[in-house]
Chain A
Amino acid sequence: MTRVLILIGTKKGAFILESDASRHAWELKGPFCATWPIQHVVADPATGTIYGAGGNSWFGGAIWKSTDRGATWTHSSAGLAYGEGEEPIVAAWSLAVGSDGLYAGVEPAGLFKSTDGGETWAHVSGLRDHPSREHWQPGGGGLILHAIVPHPDDANKIWVGISSAGVFHSADGGTTWEPRNRGTRADFNPEDQRYPELGQCVHSLVLAPGGSDRLYQQNHCGMYRSDDGGKQWASIEAGLPSTFGFPAAAHPRDPETLYLAPLNGDIQGRFMPEAKAAVWRTRDGGASWTALRNGLPQKDAYFGVLRQALATDRLDPAGVYFGTGGGALFASADEGESWSCLAQHLPAISSVETLVVDD
């Protein structure tokens, strides 16, 4: 029997919503992870193991782990540290399951890898060895490595997003890195420095399905597509209600389909445009966009959706899910055509991901 799990990271712990494949009746479980602020919860689809990245003001950053769908949890930060004398890690911000291990991104920005299921961690030091590091500037959420995109078939290829240093790529398993920001704007820079090599404020980075090097990016300053692994980016923001937003979610099978949650603007409250909630979908790689509103609040929707809080599932039709800063979780079981609210009163939602398991 197929079970669908929505993995939710919040300001006060992780939660799980679980349903059968119909995705109509959901049961909420949690809070987990000792009610720590949990920035990202992901699952390894091969094993069903759930991981949560977070950090607590008393106890620092750690990666939580459950091998029984949330019933019990352990945590570890063994090896999740920089050297003595360096600025210590505050929290873990992002997770990604790669073909040869589990990756974690942390604040201050850096990348770690575990090859024993999150029990111990090793620093992927090549990234912080990049000569640009002294110029990395923190964004509003801190100097965080919040996006990790391992190539599903090539363990040597990985992309990361750092706020606000930009996108970096490694083609040798993390030993060496190069910025991949050409074509993305930095509107906050002086007029003659709007397209720097790095320093852009990437908000979200996703790989399209299908085995190509197509990436999509939601940036502080625009939405973009790259068909060459980030060497060159092209704006896809025409037709959207703003150039600002945080998350992006790829379709599980169609590389032309992308979901975004544009907000009204970076200095206007970062709410849903006109306080009417919508997820925006393209079916043609960003050439045109459709607002998906059916079932979403169309009045007084003064909420935002954070960078990791929009996701799809792998069923057909794909489910689409997002969580709000106000603690509501909205879901669509039909690729965004219609929506329902699954939870209204959770803590502020940081992340939404999915796991589909076949018992």
Chain B
Amino acid sequence: MGDRAESAAEVEKVVTVVLPPALLALFPVASREVVLQARTVGGLIAGLDRRWPGMRDRLCDSTPRVRRHINIVVAGQRAALDTPLPEGARVYVLTAISGG
């Protein structure tokens, strides 16, 4: 039972990621929405980086963690790199209110 639950968690989920305009300005070939398969937010960001090299550095620092002023929202909650992804989720990458 435990083994089955663990293997289920390791199955990649199909999710839709919505990227913010400020990030798209840095990656002109990237699209506003992209469908990816990943198990966790960290896996999702790795998938984004494979498609558009360098995108991981914009979303994560070297700690590693999601950057302080980036919000990645999964199922209505701010997520961390190890947050699991539900099948069919719509994941929002958001830039926090910041600036001057």
Q: How many A residues touch B, CB cutoff 8 Å?
A: 19
A53-88 CB contact bits vs B (8 Å, 1 = yes)?
000011110100000000000011110111111101
- Given the contacts A82-B62, A85-B63, A89-B62, A60 and B57 also touching, CB distance less than 8 Å: yes
Q: Of the candidates B53, B62, B63, B67, which one forms a contact with A58 in the assembled complex, judged by CB atoms under 8 Å apart?
A: B67
- Given the contacts A34-B26, A75-B26, A76-B54, A57 and B99 also touching, CB distance less than 8 Å: yes
- Least CB distance, A123 to chain B, in whole angstroms: 11
B18 at the interface (CB under 8 A from A): no
Decide: B26 and A84 in contact? CB cutoff 8 A: no
Q: Of the candidates A59, A62, A88, which one forms a contact with B63 in the assembled complex, judged by CB atoms under 8 Å apart?
A: A88
B69 at the interface (CB under 8 A from A): yes
Decide: B67 and A59 in contact? CB cutoff 8 A: yes
Decide: A75 and B54 in contact? CB cutoff 8 A: yes
Q: Kindly identify, within residues 14 to 64 of chain B, every residue whose CB is under 8 Å from any CB belonging to chain A.
A: 22-23, 25-26, 53-54, 57-59, 61-64
- Least CB distance, B49 to chain A, in whole angstroms: 10
- Given the contacts A34-B26, A77-B57, A58 and B64 also touching, CB distance less than 8 Å: no
- Least CB distance, A82 to chain B, in whole angstroms: 6
Q: How many B residues touch A, CB cutoff 8 Å?
A: 20
Q: Kindly identify, within residues 29 to 73 of chain A, every residue whose CB is under 8 Å from any CB belonging to chain B.
A: 34, 57-60, 62
Q: Which residue of chain A is the closest to B55 with respect to CB atoms?
A: A59
- Least CB distance, B79 to chain A, in whole angstroms: 17
Query: Which of the listed residues B22, B23, B62, B67 has the most CB atoms from chain A within 10 Å of its own CB?
Result: B62
Interchain pairs with CB closer than 8 A, number: 52
Residues of chain B contacted by A82 (CB below 8 angstroms): 62
Residues of chain B contacted by A34 (CB below 8 angstroms): 22, 25-26
Residues of chain B contacted by A78 (CB below 8 angstroms): 53-54, 57
- Least CB distance, B20 to chain A, in whole angstroms: 8
B70 at the interface (CB under 8 A from A): yes
Residues of chain B contacted by A76 (CB below 8 angstroms): 54
Residues of chain A contacted by B53 (CB below 8 angstroms): 78
- Given the contacts A34-B25, A84-B62, A57 and B98 also touching, CB distance less than 8 Å: yes
Given contacts A75-B26, A77-B57, 11 further A-B contacts (CB under 8 A): A34-B22, A57-B98, A60-B61, A62-B57, A75-B54, A78-B53, A81-B57, A81-B61, A85-B63, A89-B61, A89-B62
Decide: B70 and A58 in contact? CB cutoff 8 A: yes
Q: Which residue of chain B is the closest to A81 with respect to CB atoms?
A: B62
Residues of chain A contacted by B22 (CB below 8 angstroms): 34, 58-59
Residues of chain B contacted by A84 (CB below 8 angstroms): 62-64
Residues of chain B contacted by A85 (CB below 8 angstroms): 63
Residues of chain A contacted by B25 (CB below 8 angstroms): 34
B96 at the interface (CB under 8 A from A): yes
- Least CB distance, A162 to chain B, in whole angstroms: 20
Q: Which residue of chain B is the closest to A33 with respect to CB atoms?
A: B26
When A and B form their complex, which 9 residue pairs have the shortest distance between CB atoms, in order from nearest?
Answer: A88-B61, A81-B62, A59-B58, A77-B57, A88-B62, A58-B95, A57-B98, A58-B69, A34-B25
